Amino acid sequence: MAYFEYSTNGTTWITNLPQPITMNGSLEDLDVNSYRSVVNGNIYRKVVGYKWEKISLEFNWIPEADAYDLINTVRSANNIYIRFRSPSSSTYTNVLRGYISKLSYNQVKTQLGIGYTVSFNFVEGRR
């Protein structure tokens, strides 16, 4: 299995994407109407979801055509699935459903020619 794969339906996977050079993950709780008491300093939270995942992927120098394909694949990605290798799963493979929250790219000229560095965040939005 590739390090990172993408799907619009959760069954047909696009596996020919470039592999990221780094992947950072974090787990976050979601809460609503949280506040800190001005009387005793305690935090009062109504938790509505535990351990939602956010994944940041960074791609080193990618040839121009590959960068174009990757950017156009994820730029309008909403309600998508990603499958990736992760130590947070006992099988080392996670499948999450969500959206791309941020996409950045930079043009780089090297001895290999013009290419791009690309990074984006995937945020788990549905379970």
74-119, pLDDT tens digit by residue? 877 778 888 877 666 666 577 888 888 889 999 999 998 999 999 9
Which residues touch 113 (CB under 8 Å, ≥6 apart)?
63, 64
Number of structural domains (the chain) is 1
**Does a structural domain hold residue 37?**
no
Task: Report d(CA 61, CA 116) in Å as an integer.
Answer: 5
**Does a structural domain hold residue 58?**
yes
**Does a structural domain hold residue 39?**
no
What pLDDT, on the 0 to 100 scale, is given for residue 88? 63
Task: Report d(CA 4, CA 63) in Å as an integer.
Answer: 18
**Does a structural domain hold residue 40?**
no
35-82 per-position pLDDT tens digit = 888 889 888 877 777 678 888 889 988 899 888 888 888 877 778 888
The range of the structural domain enclosing residue 86 comes to: 4-30+49-126
Q: Answer yes or no: are the C-beta atoms of 81 and 93 closer than 8 Å.
A: no
